[in-house]
Amino acid sequence: MLLTTATLLLLGCALAAPADLEERQQGCPNIHVFGARETTVPPGYGTAGTVVNLILNAHPGATAEAIQYPACGGQSNCGGVSYGNSALQGTAAVARAVNAFNTRCPQTQLVLVGYSQGGQIMDNAFCGGGDSNIGLSDTSVPIQASAINMIKAAIFMGDPRYIPNLPYNVGTCRASGFAPRPQGFQCPSAAKIQSYCDAADPYCCNGNSQQTHQGYGNVYGQAALRFVNSKLT
């Protein structure tokens, strides 16, 4: 049987694609976690680190990285960047970091962990829908489709975008955060999310307890880990 040049080229591409994926995956971990800190906390994981470390300890060989963004709300100790500008930069930073890692390691399972403002930027990047609170008008999901597929779980704690009655909510809050999603919002990746918020929280709910806002890692950390483990393969 004679094969045309075009047929040979197509066959070559088909055979090369899996090999290319395997080559790119060499040296990559099975699991990689992205963590995003809360407002005014120095660069690193902030309080998100509690859950990030639980995941790393449960999965030897897993790796993690912190999202690099201002994490500011106008305070001098974080450069005076406004909250809206910080969250806007953070949303873009999440998409940029996740997309870059997924391109480099396409078969690695990914986990998102965001705390407070870090939860907001993870929420925005993972679910899309825009964010009028920070001037984000683009409603598309900025994380590429291949990365969305490899994100197996997303943990939001004290997320200001919280609204009641979403299927992934966990906790006692029945109100909304200070930067809420519009009523009726549905995240395309809802089955992969757990969003933790209690009624006393002043940022994801309408309470007045800073202690509650900072305590989700201790209160819900093990529950978050169980959820993440249930999604990983």
Structural tokens at position 61: 């060989």
159 is catalytic: no
- DSSP E strand stretches across 98-174: 109-115, 151-157, 169-170
Contact 141, 82 (CB under 8 A): no
116 is catalytic: yes
Contact 158, 182 (CB under 8 A): no
**CA-to-CA distance for 70 and 127, rounded, in angstroms?**
21
- DSSP E strand stretches across the chain: 31-36, 63-66, 109-115, 151-157, 169-170, 193-196
SS3 106: coil
**CA-to-CA distance for 174 and 171, rounded, in angstroms?**
9
Catalytic residue among 59, 123, 131, 213: 213
32 is catalytic: no
Catalytic residue among 123, 131, 159, 201: 201
Amino acid at residue number 1: M
Share in percent of the chain as helix, strand, coil (round to 5): 45, 15, 45
Catalytic residue among 116, 176, 189, 195: 116
List active site positions: 116, 201, 213
